[in-house]
Amino acid sequence: MRCPSWCPRRARRLTAPAVLLALTACGSDAPAPAARTGADAGIDAAASDAGADAPPDAGELTARAIAPAYAFVGEPVVLDGAASTGAVSYQWTFGDGDGWDAPRAETSATVTYAAPGRYAAVLAVRDAVGRQRTDSVTVSVTWPAAFVPSGSSTLAVVPGEQRVAVVGPDSDEVTFVEWTAGGAFSVAARVTVPGGPATLTAWGDVLAVPCRDAGVVALVPTTGAGTVRSVAMPYGSRPYGAAVVGDALFVSLQGTGELARVERDAQGEPSLVARLPAVVDARGVAALPDGRLAVTRFRSASSGAEIAVVDPQTGGRSIWPLGVDPQAGSDTENGGVPTYLGQVVVSPTGREIALPGLQANVVEGQYVNGVPLTFQTTLRAVTAFVDLPGGGERAGDRHQFDNRGFASAAAFSSRGDFLFVAMRGNRAVERYDLLRRDASGNVQDLGYAPNGVALSADDRLLFVDAYLSREVVVYDVSDLSTSPVAVARLPIVSAEPLSPTLLRGKQLFDDSADPRISKDSYIACGHCHLEGDSDQRVWDFTDRGEGMRNTISLLGRAGTGDGPVHWSANFDEIQDFENDIRNAFRGTGLLTDTDWSAGTRAQTLGDPKAGASTDLDALAAYVTSLASELPSPFREADGSLGAGALRGKALFESAAVGCTACHAGARLTDSGFVSPGVPRLHDVGTIGAASGQRLGATLTGLDTPTLHGLWHSAPYLHDGSAATLEAVLARNALDQHGVTSGLSAGDRSDLVAYLLCLDGRTD
């Protein structure tokens, strides 16, 4: 692999060195660099050319360049060389292409930088006999911090306090961690909240905590003590993020694609007062400096990503697109579409937003363009940047992180010059220098599934929500020249809510740092099935002996019991994912090589893998535990079926339409094996050139999928060729997929209404 642009072996730009405030030594008798604090300190000490043209006996001549660490754009900056010794002339270059044309007698210079950057100002001094010394100092120039962002995160600093709060989605808790000036950290409080707390946001004297499973927004006092109140959200809406504009709280409703407006009355009682259209799969949300709200579409369409911008006063809405990157995959980058956009991170300068996620390579594949996907070209952690207020993406600044699979969260430094990015599968946080547009240090091995990050007000302390290690991990990031060690680890949960086997399986499911699972830390099971759901992608698996395959949600399937797995029924146990781990992920495997090669175990329909590896069985146990579906927002407010859906149910169950011939029973599927190793498959007229094969042989039919969860699993069919359920019915002119060609428009509408209500409930 070639060296990435941040590698110290590559040449550094003079105008943007990696060092901040490095007062480089100017000869053997030069004073030591000044001590530095904050997130910018101690990074990659740059080489100095000090003394390169001075004779060995010039020790009495020293150059000493002094300047402020930071300055704002347009602000006069004084560069001072008065601390130099033995000099009779001084010459400054400013690092922006300008400087003094000739040596001067004065020691100092004043410069005004016109744009943000890290500028290496160089001082050259000469003595009376013409000997020379040089020194440099870096000035970091930023826009002023002009905005206090409000947005959602799993972990956040409580405003005005030396404490952070973090959600525990599995234990249904909010945990408060506080610290003292002396560096003591402790759990200050734990507060029980309704099911599935997702994120938290400060709203006056409370933290607003959207709770997805319970369908409410909990209001937790910032003190960690007192009454927790709840505001009910619409049925099946799955509230996720929150942000504050003025006195109102706005909550993203992932299930309905809306923003809920919550206000408090004169007595302080909160209530839901309005619902505003946002974007399908609405997830991350943040207030923008102009008072509008930015909302991410969590899972992007293959045509590009979308950010909805909503005016909370008028309800007006516009869409900011993030385009498809067409570039060919390599060992350091790949093309595709940014997706899993779960957070909108607004810079304190108010001039840009960052969107962490992953880039899914939908532009390549053996069928798509003749180039098979590999372990390092399938997906890659990415962060996109959008300018404010106009909303245009700086496509050239979309940053891909090498050897990283999924950027799950991010936080700006207080001046907006660094972005700390959590890598969920990699157990790491990367620091990205926004002035140099380059990687600039990292924190490694911090714990499983980092899901949120926050910085203390002075940028010294980094707090990380290591979700599946159940810890808030604290680092002093004053110096990232080496990866730091944790200064504190605080437990998030009061008691572990999962069994040891399920917790271990969940950790493995979301992990890509384990070399047994993934080569070079790219692919985890959770990178395509985050939270057990589908990424709504269609992947080209032609090189695997399959074809174009639409990712199936794992929710509600309980590992499919003893039945077939995948569209082509090419697995017969969840432990068969060992084959994907070894072949597609390029991990070394959770089985030992001896166990892998025993009998016919290396074949997906061969000897059972269950029982051969504790970790592989734990992974399977976690997948099998995903037995519940998400509630459908297409149901009535009380969860019942509406009139149209009831008519559609009657059609679905009628012998004339014939849906239940295959979609039968509580699971709405006849999936199974008719004899050992021989699955029940159907050709419903959807097999085409892109459908590929089954286990390298002719694809004669497909396993019947359950219909539960159709409301959140578009696109449809094994190859994702139907964008909507209406499109599924429209392509069934020959009645190979039920007898639907003769249905009226009203009947088709009713049938679709029923299908969209299927969420595991029996009606």
Q: What is the largest CA-CA distance in the chain?
A: 105
Contact between residue 488 and residue 473 where contact means Cβ atoms under 8 Å apart? yes
pLDDT of residue 41: 36
Q: What is the pLDDT of residues 59-113, one digit of tens each?
A: 589 999 999 999 999 999 999 999 999 999 999 999 999 999 999 999 999 999 9
The first and second tokens of residue 490, run together, are 């605080």
pLDDT per position as a tens digit, 723-759: 999 999 999 999 999 999 999 999 999 999 999 999 9
The domains located in the chain, with CATH, are: 1-142 (2.60.40.10), 149-277 (2.130.10.10), 504-624 (1.10.760), 643-669+705-755 (1.10.760.10)
- Per-residue model confidence (pLDDT) at position 482: 87
Q: Looking at the predicted structure, is the pLDDT value of residue 569 above 80?
A: yes
What's the pLDDT band for 762 if we cut at 50, 70, 90?
A: confident
In angstroms, rounded to a whole number, what is the distance separating the alpha carbons of residues 421 and 431? Answer: 6
Report whether pLDDT(131) > 50: yes
- Contact status, residue 358 vs residue 339, Cβ threshold 8 Å: yes
- With 90 as the cut, is the pLDDT of residue 36 above it? no
Residue with tokens 């175990």: 601
Mean model confidence pLDDT for the chain: 92
Q: Residue 26 above 60 pLDDT?
A: no
pLDDT of residue 348: 97
What is the model's pLDDT at position 59? 59
Question: What is the pLDDT, as a whole number, of residue 32?
Answer: 31
For residue 430, the model assigns a pLDDT of 97
What is the phi-psi region of residue 212: left when phi exceeds 0, alpha when psi lies from -120 to 50, beta otherwise?
alpha
Q: What pLDDT sits at residue 561?
A: 83
Q: Output 192-198 pairs: Cβ under 8 A, ≥24 positions apart.
A: 192/228, 193/167, 193/218, 193/220, 193/228, 194/218, 194/230, 196/169, 196/172, 197/167, 197/168, 197/169, 197/172, 197/173, 198/152, 198/154, 198/167, 198/169, 198/239, 198/240, 198/241
Distance CA 186, CA 169 (A): 21
Inform me whether the pLDDT recorded for 12 exceeds 70. Answer: no
**According to the model, what pLDDT value does residue 467 have?**
98
pLDDT in tens, 599-634: 999 999 999 999 999 999 999 999 999 999 999 999
* Res. 457 pLDDT band, cuts 50 70 90: very high
Summarised one tens digit per residue, pLDDT across range 466-502 is 999 999 999 999 988 888 999 999 999 999 999 999 9
pLDDT at residue 735 in the model:
97
Indicate the helix (H) or strand (E) that contains 753.
helix 745-755
Cα separation, 378 vs 373, whole angstroms: 6
> What percentage of the chain has pLDDT greater than the value 90?
90
* Strand 248-253 versus strand 258-264 pairing type: antiparallel
CA 325 to chain centre: 18
More confident position, 32 or 540: 540
Range in 3-12, 285-294, 744-753 with the lowest mean pLDDT? 3-12
Q: How far is Cα 728 from Cα 735, in angstroms, rounded to an integer?
A: 11
Give residue 247's pLDDT band: very low, low, confident or very high (50, 70, 90). Answer: very high
